[in-house]
Amino acid sequence: MDTVLKTEFRNLLQQKNIPDKIARWHMNRVQDFERFISHIPLQECTQQHIRDYLSIKSQGKNIKDRQIARMDESLRLLFAEYFRLPWAENRPVLPANAASPPPSATFQNSGRPGFKDIINAGWKTAMTSAPSRNCSAIRMYPPP
């Protein structure tokens, strides 16, 4: 992560009153994602890159749903809040305090559609080959 991006993203997290410990966690997750897509500039990433990253991370040993949800939140902050990419702003997000939401949860207070609103027959078909563990965050990125 280049110095300018690192500084500006850290400033964004401070503006959102995110505690230092959690901000460091977000910074580490973004750096990990950047290593994952090392051949692509962050501004050119797509939902598919995020789906692939979360899918691989969800298969790790001892990874909990809440960790995947927090990884997703880190990437949402980067792409929707920092880069302001249209595809990232209009996707459903997990509430920041959600420990492990069920895949069928609808978040009425978020002002964004819940999982029930984005899962359609095509998406269910696409997900049948994915591991069922830790898929709640991955489902938020419907296929293009």
Write down the mean pLDDT value for the chain. 73
| The predicted structure's pLDDT at residue 4 | 92
Q: Could you read off the pLDDT of 53-68 as tens digits, one per residue?
A: 999 999 988 989 899 9
State the pLDDT confidence band at 8, using cuts at 50, 70 and 90: very high
pTM for this entry: 0.63
For residues 123 and 113, is the Cβ–Cβ distance under 8 A? no
Q: Which residue has the higher pLDDT, 107 or 75?
A: 75
Q: Could you read off the pLDDT of 91-104 as tens digits, one per residue?
A: 654 433 333 333 33
**Could you give the CA distance from residue 66 to residue 14 in angstroms, rounded to a whole number?**
22
CA distances from 129 to 55, 97, 116, 132, 135 (A): 12, 29, 20, 9, 11
